[in-house]
Amino acid sequence: MTTSEPFIVGVTGGLGCGKSTICSVFEELGCALFDSDRVAKELQLSDPEVIKGMRELFGDAIYGQDDRGELTLDRKRVASVVFSSPVKLAALNRLIHPRVSREFRKALLEAGRRGQRILLKEAAILFESGADREVDAVVVVAADMERRIQRAVEKGMGTRQEIMRRIAMQWPQEKLIEKADYVLWNNGSREELHKAAESVLLKLLALTDSAGNRT
């Protein structure tokens, strides 16, 4: 029995733009979701080779144990290093990305078995990692800079100055927009976002019809 592969949609955007919010709306509308960043975080605590590589990159002190004796990772410490060192950031991506891609293939097969028409691949570094070559269309989530900074600060991701430094390390939003097939601006209410997402989804579903089933 063959299964049809879903139409793959990459969802990306800079820090604080609201990628996760957009993806949750798409999920509500029936799309499957593969969260690359969440999977990467899970691998940093479960994959022995990733853990070994993380220790080599950032030192043994980045790992600890919680009250239950389970492995923990000092993510703030890692973030402070990679967002001030392009070399370390590139090395981290080389360590993580191939393994995330492997997990994505599993998710793709599973979505196909379930008959999902669209699989979203949410990834903060979709273009930088080359993962855009694995998708059929790209949705870029964008927002005004001040809103992005405010959201990130409210999430506890750092001070205003730290957030601005992290944003400066990422691709400029304008560059992402240039490469996008669709752009969703996330400056308004969730209701407005829902309507915009519905509009994009209709276009994506039309593309799945024209592309036909891939086996």
From first to last of its 215 residues, the chain has per-residue pLDDT tens of 345 789 999 999 999 999 989 999 999 999 999 999 999 999 999 999 999 999 999 999 999 999 999 999 999 899 889 888 889 988 998 999 899 989 999 999 999 999 999 999 999 889 988 889 989 999 999 999 999 999 999 998 889 998 998 899 889 999 999 999 999 999 988 889 889 999 999 999 998 876 554 44
Q: What is the pLDDT of residue 117?
A: 93
State CA 22 to chain mean position distance. 11
Q: What is the pLDDT of residue 213?
A: 45
Say what the pTM is: 0.86
Give the Cα separation of 13 and 58 in Å (integer).
26
Residue 138: left if φ>0, alpha if ψ -120 to 50, beta else—which one? beta
What would the two tokens of residue 197 be? 């997402």
Q: What is the pLDDT of residue 76?
A: 87
**Per-domain residue ranges for the chain?**
7-205
3-state SS class at 122: strand
Under CATH, which number does the domain 7-205 receive?
Answer: 3.40.50.300
